[in-house]
Amino acid sequence: MSFGKFRHGALAVALLTGIGSLASTAAAQMGGPPPVTVAKPVVRPIVEMDEYTGRFDAMNSVEIRARVSGYLDTVHFQDGATVNQGDLLFTIDRRTYQANYNQAQATLNNRQTEFDLAKLEYERYQKLTQTGAAATATLDQRRQAFLAAQANISGARAAAETTRLQLSFTEVRSPIAGRISRKLVSEGNLVRENETLLTTVVQLAPVHFYFDIDERSYLSYQRIAKQGGQSSSGGSNGRGLPVAVMLTDEKTFMHTGVLDFTDNRVDTATGTMRLRAVFENKDQFLTPGLFGRIAVPGSPEYQAVMLPDEAILTDLDRRYVYVVGDGGAVQQRPVRIGSRTDNYRIIREGLKGDETVVINGLQRVRLGGGKVTPMPVELPKVWNGLMALPQPAAQGGQQAPAK
């Protein structure tokens, strides 16, 4: 919070306290109970969210290495650029591989000529043998030469294909779309086949988020998923359980995704289970390696009773609220509180939701000797603090207009 916001907030609280004091003084002079702001608790269906810390990781990450040896000729990308699948990244000196390919093609052409001749002679001696003009032994020799030529041309084709592949491997292309790192080898350096690391490429969209949960939470999610007829790693529609992530510099869970994976065993060393969520990350803002906090649905949907923290008092380890009854009579009501949602505190036990609870002016309850003058207001959907409430008038029991 900035100093300006703090100064204005402090001034507003001081004004509110001053108004309350004036109202109490006026009420005391008139012989009536002090005025307090009261409201019905907020009751609406919610799903409680659990928070965990995790880290983003790339869905796919590739180490780019050359598949042939040679001297690096050209680098075709800018460091840190976004590349598409199949984009040319590096070129290795291809002159030797081009010569080998040309030689293999020439050998293949020669073997093709030998094969054609052997086939022609074999077919000719087949006809001569049938008419008795040639011996059977000669036909056998021609057949052997034909089969040898056939095997030679198959070997030549394989050799030509091998040299063609080696020639194509001199062009190193990206196997995935994503963001490329810097070049790790400069032009002119020797690159060794399957050894030299040239760079890395990571996929940014979609992106994964990994986090660990304790064994008790995992069992709870399993039971919730079973009640809802879905698996713990995804919804019944196959799209996954909806989750949201907040980065370290953010105040709200603004990045939405789905839970798509649960590991197959609990880590016996830590007693935790590894889970994963996937985020579309269309703007590629979520970068692999970032920390974040993820909010996971931790309960089925139910009708919750909620109050602002300002209405809840503490007496040692006991929590209670002031409930206003008929004639302005006030009584303490013990409550058991839960987590927060929309800046409200969930009341797990103690209230049904139809009670009238003191929200502002708690310090005046004792001054009234157990009675107050209630000034009803309606709590907003999202709680922004006491200054969000309309202020009660000092006299007459009328509510001031909300701003």
pLDDT (tens digit, 9 = 90+) per residue, 310-353? 999 998 889 999 999 988 899 999 999 988 888 899 999 999 99
pLDDT at residue number 239: 59
- Cα atoms in the Cβ-side hemisphere of radius 13 Å centred on 303: 6
Q: Are 305 and 73 in contact (CB under 8 A)?
A: no
- Beta-bridge mates of residue 61: 202
Whether 151 and 107 map to the same domain: the answer is yes
Confidence category of residue 366, pLDDT binned at 50, 70, 90: confident
Burial class (CB in 10 A: 0-12, 13-18, 19+), 380: middle
pLDDT at residue number 238: 46
Q: Does residue 197 surpass a pLDDT of 70? A: yes
Whether 83 and 180 map to the same domain: the answer is yes
Pairing of strands 35-39, 357-360: antiparallel
Q: In angstroms, rounded to a whole number, what is the distance separating the alpha carbons of residues 249 and 285?
A: 13
- Mean pLDDT across the stretch 370-391? 84
Query: Hey, which bits of 32-123 come out as E strands?
Result: 35-39, 42-46, 49-58, 61-65, 70-75, 82-83, 88-92
Instruction: Read off the CATH number of the domain in which 373 is found.
Output: 2.40.420.20
317 contacts: CB under 8 Å, gap ≥ 6: none
pLDDT at residue number 87: 97
Residue 1 in domain: no
Q: Does residue 22 surpass a pLDDT of 70? A: no
Whether 178 and 79 map to the same domain: the answer is yes
Q: What is the pTM of this model?
A: 0.69
Q: Are 56 and 290 in contact (CB under 8 A)?
A: yes
Whether 190 and 208 map to the same domain: the answer is no
Q: Does residue 232 surpass a pLDDT of 60? A: no
Q: In angstroms, rounded to a whole number, what is the distance separating the alpha carbons of residues 143 and 119?
A: 8
- Print the domain residue range for 119: 95-169
- Greatest mean pLDDT among 15-29, 251-265, 362-376: 251-265
Higher-confidence residue of 386 and 285: namely 285
Mean of the per-residue pLDDT values of the chain? 86
Whether 377 and 269 map to the same domain: the answer is no
Instruction: Read off the CATH number of the domain in which 130 is found.
Output: 1.10.287.470
Give per-residue pLDDT as tens, 66-104: 999 999 999 999 999 999 999 999 999 999 999 999 999
> If DSSP codes are grouped into helix, strand and coil, which group holds residue 67?
coil
Two tokens, residue 3: 């100093």
Number of domains in the chain: 4
Residue 16 in domain: no
